[in-house]
């Protein structure tokens, strides 16, 4: 029997299935539409940005670093461009294999590999790092022809810093180096983070470091459309970088180079400044170093030679080297005596050659005494006994309170980083400095040697020069300044960087005149007479000799029996002209003996340069380097005619006349007006900063074992 189907029931069943399928399709389509609406409407901006990011690369444009020029426009630091071969480790795959293959195309030395490894340890894997710098045109061509073989490797054009004068003024100019990890972390936490995108170098020392913000400039950017392979297709938008500003220094680099030449191979420092405004004209630390070695990372051998040298060429002696001032301290002690009323100018003290305190004998220089001496004669003839007794009468704390306002024992505030404070002792200082109670106590016998600039006294050449400037100017005080103007390279406007004027010291004009006249007497009938013989101008000065090591009570100092590094330091402070000083300076020549033998002759030539425009003859220079010079010998040369190797002048840089000169010293370089730096030095790992080196404290910090007496 045939079974009859219920057609209606089947149709209903089919309609139900059809409706369910339709509803499912509609639901799915609704979900798809909702997703499209969500993506196209609500997420449009975000997704469009992502798409643009995949298509557009934002490339930072690193600005040109600003120039550094001296007061006459001579270029001290500039830039040049060169090609570098760089690897992005995250894109290179087999890194060692890539470097080995690259070595077959361009020369890659072991030091390049070591530097690259060190940079990798300090950087992120997606950063582009140089494996070779300063490629030749031939090397660029060879790599370009084989570029397809090296994913993640590319050639970039970069700017390199150049110091045309090499070692001249290296401590004050400083240098730049690659940004290390600590500096990178500091930048990431500062407001300058965006401005340092793409920047690999930063100032490490000198004005390169202290004026980093002015020199760096403003980073620009370039929006570039890229292909799927990462190649640039077209430029969409760009914002040019703004170069760094030009620093115009107060330094006269010719004077600086002359002083460094006079030091020769000897160690020491000289600071010369204008007491009327605090501008520094020369800031010398010897020995020097070539800052070009550090620009792209110094090689291991050169770093070891600099870092391990007994002469410490990386130590900025003018800023961080501390020395006992010796007899150069006496004019300040005399002023303190006048201010406090401890001594009058006419009071006479008998100098018998020794000063007895308890069972200890403090000796003077020479075998005999000077007899009766008043204040002026005590400076002219450099009486130790006069200042032994004065120190005993004043006491350490009164001396500290009177001399600290001159800048002793505190930072001057110069526009360089890492200045040290030096040491002007007091009873409070000793309690802080020592732990054991017996060490914290101040003994009266420790005060005596302070009067002649020995004992715990330790100051920098910068502090001595600044204090001399304050003394001879009648109490005017300024923070010393190395940069006098900052020029905006876009607008060409110059902004004056004025030295901060401090509250002047209330020194009586009669007291200042007495000290000036006494220091003038030093050059006429005192310890520097033979050095300033025949000078057509009048100047004042004070010689000093400071011990580097102590000598026992019953021993006599004999330089010939001591190692060279243990002999006395030679010092001289001076000013000129006598009536209205426009220059004050301090000179220290380490382990060179009497102040009149080594330091004073250098000061004389500085004054001849500034007052007369003279440059020492070759014969005179040879004697100066040997420490055998007195008054100038031979025919002095015209300073403007002595060539300064490598010098160039920036066009439009107005020269600033120096004190005592009729006009600026112009460059005799035939390339004046053109920037044509010499060929760059060979590249080479980043050193630790020179500021991390130990401060030179060869200068008798311990009173126990201090040699009694001192020599002018």
Q: Is 529 left (phi over 0), alpha (psi -120 to 50) or beta?
A: alpha
Distance separating alpha carbons of residues 60 and 238, to the nearest angstrom: 10
Q: How far is CA 598 from the centre of its chain?
A: 25
> Which of 578, 576, 603, 586 has its CA nearest to residue 658?
576
Q: Measure the CA angle with vertex 196, ends 191 and 199; round to 5°.
A: 165
Cα(627)–Cα(625) distance, integer angstroms = 6
523, 573 in Cβ contact below 8 A?
A: no
Q: Is 402 exposed, middle or buried (0-12, 13-18, 19+ CB in 10 A)?
A: buried
Residue 598 CB-half CA count within 13 A: 28
Say which residue the tokens 């001396």 belong to.
Answer: 399
What CA–CA distances, in Å, run from 63 to 135, 159, 241, 489? 21, 9, 5, 12
Q: Are strands 637-638 and 477-478 parallel, antiparallel or unpaired?
A: unpaired
Q: Of residues 170, 210, 285, 327, which has the active-site annotation? A: 327
- How far from 48 is each of 37, 39, 228, CA to CA, in Å? 15, 10, 17
Q: Which residues contact 211 (CB under 8 A, 6 or more apart)?
A: 203, 247, 415, 483, 486
Q: Are 319 and 420 in contact (CB under 8 A)?
A: yes
Return the CA Rg of the chain.
35
Longest dimension (CA), the chain: 160
Phi, psi values for residue 65, rounded to 5°: -70, 145
344 classed as catalytic: no
A 10 A CB-CB count for 83 gives 18
Angle, helices 396-403/330-340, rounded to nearest 10 degrees: 100
- Beta pairing class for 477-478 and 501-502: antiparallel
Q: Which of 249-283 are b and which e, b meaning 16 or more Cβ less than 10 Å from the residue's Cβ?
A: bbbbbbbbbbbbbbbeebbbbbbbbbbbbbbbbbb
Q: Which of 425, 345, 365, 434 is nearest to 391 (CA)?
A: 425
Q: Is the peptide bond before 292 cis (omega within 30 degrees of 0)?
A: no
CA distance linking residue 388 with residue 383, whole number of Å = 9
Q: Using CA atoms, how far apart are residues 665 and 253, in angstroms rounded to an integer?
A: 10
DSSP letter assigned to residue 42: I
CA distance 611 to 609: 6
Catalytic residue IDs = 327
């Amino acid at each position: 029997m045939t079974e009859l189907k219920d057609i209606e029931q089947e149709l209903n069943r089919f309609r139900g299935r059809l409706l369910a399928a339709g509803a499912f399709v509609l639901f799915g389509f609704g979900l798809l539409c909702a997703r499209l609406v969500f993506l196209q409407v609500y997420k449009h901006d975000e997704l469009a940005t992502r798409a643009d990011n995949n298509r557009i690369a934002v490339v930072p444009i690193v600005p040109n670093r600003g120039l550094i020029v001296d007061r006459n426009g001579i270029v001290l630091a500039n830039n040049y461009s060169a090609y570098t071969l760089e690897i992005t480790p995250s894109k290179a795959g087999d890194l060692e294999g890539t470097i080995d293959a690259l070595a077959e195309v361009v020369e890659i030395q072991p030091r390049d590999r070591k530097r690259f490894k060190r940079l990798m340890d300090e950087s992120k894997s997606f950063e582009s790092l140089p494996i070779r710098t300063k490629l030749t045109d031939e090397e660029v061509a060879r790599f370009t022809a084989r570029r397809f073989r090296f994913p993640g490797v590319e050639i970039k054009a970069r700017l390199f810093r150049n110091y045309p004068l090499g070692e001249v003024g290296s401590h004050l100019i400083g240098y730049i180096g690659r940004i290390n990890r600590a500096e990178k972390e500091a930048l990431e936490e500062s407001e300058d983070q965006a401005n340092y995108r793409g920047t690999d170098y930063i100032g490490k020392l000198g004005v390169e470091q202290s004026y980093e913000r002015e020199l760096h400039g403003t980073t620009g950017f370039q929006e570039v459309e890229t292909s799927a392979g990462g190649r640039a297709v077209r430029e969409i938008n760009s914002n040019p970088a703004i170069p760094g500003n030009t620093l115009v220094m107060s330094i006269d680099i010719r004077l600086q180079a002359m002083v460094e030449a006079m030091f020769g191979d000897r160690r020491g420092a000289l600071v010369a400044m204008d007491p009327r405004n605090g501008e520094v004209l020369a800031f010398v630390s010897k020995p020097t170093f070539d800052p070009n070695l550090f620009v792209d990372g110094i090689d291991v051998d050169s770093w070891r030679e600099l870092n391990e040298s007994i002469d410490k060429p990386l130590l900025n002696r003018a800023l961080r080297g501390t020395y006992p001032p010796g007899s150069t301290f006496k004019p300040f002690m005399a002023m303190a005596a006048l201010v406090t009323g401890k001594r009058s100018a006419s009071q006479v003290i008998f100098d018998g050659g020794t000063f007895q305190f308890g069972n200890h004998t403090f000796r003077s220089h020479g075998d005999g005494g000077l007899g009766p001496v008043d204040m002026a004669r005590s400076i002219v003839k450099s009486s130790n006994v006069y200042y032994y007794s004065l120190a005993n009468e004043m006491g350490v704390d009164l001396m500290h309170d009177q001399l600290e306002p001159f800048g002793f024992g505190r930072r001057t505030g110069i526009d360089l980083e890492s200045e040290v404070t030096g040491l002007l002792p007091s009873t409070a200082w000793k309690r802080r400095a020592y732990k054991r109670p017996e060490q914290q106590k101040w003994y009266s016998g420790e005060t005596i040697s302070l009067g002649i600039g020995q004992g715990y006294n330790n100051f920098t050449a910068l502090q001595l020069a600044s204090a001399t400037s304050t003394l001879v100017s009648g109490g005017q005080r300024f923070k010393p300044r190395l940069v006098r103007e900052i020029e905006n390279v876009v607008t060409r406007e110059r902004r004056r960087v004025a030295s901060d004027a401090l509250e002047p010291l209330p020194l009586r004009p009669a007291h200042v005149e007495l000290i000036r006249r006494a220091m003038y007497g030093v050059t006429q009938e005192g310890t520097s007479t033979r050095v300033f013989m025949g000078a057509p101008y009048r100047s004042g000065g004070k010689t000093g000799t400071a011990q580097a090591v102590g000598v026992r009570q019953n021993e006599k100092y004999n330089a010939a029996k001591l190692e060279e590094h243990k002999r006395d330091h030679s010092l001289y402070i001076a000013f000129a002209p006598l009536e209205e000083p426009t220059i004050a300076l301090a000179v220290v020549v380490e382990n060179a003996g009497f102040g009149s033998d080594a330091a004073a002759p250098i000061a004389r030539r500085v004054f001849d340069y500034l007052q007369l425009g003279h440059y020492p003859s070759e014969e005179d220079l040879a004697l100066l380097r040997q420490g055998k010079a007195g008054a100038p010998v031979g025919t002095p040369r015209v300073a403007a005619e002595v060539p300064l190797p490598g010098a160039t002048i920036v066009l439009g840089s107005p020269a600033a006349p120096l004190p005592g000169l009729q006009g600026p010293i112009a460059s005799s370089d035939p390339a004046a007006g053109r920037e044509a730096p010499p060929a760059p030095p060979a590249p080479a790992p980043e050193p630790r900063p020179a500021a991390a080196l130990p401060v030179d404290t060869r200068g008798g910090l311990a009173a126990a074992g201090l040699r009694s007496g001192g020599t002018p």
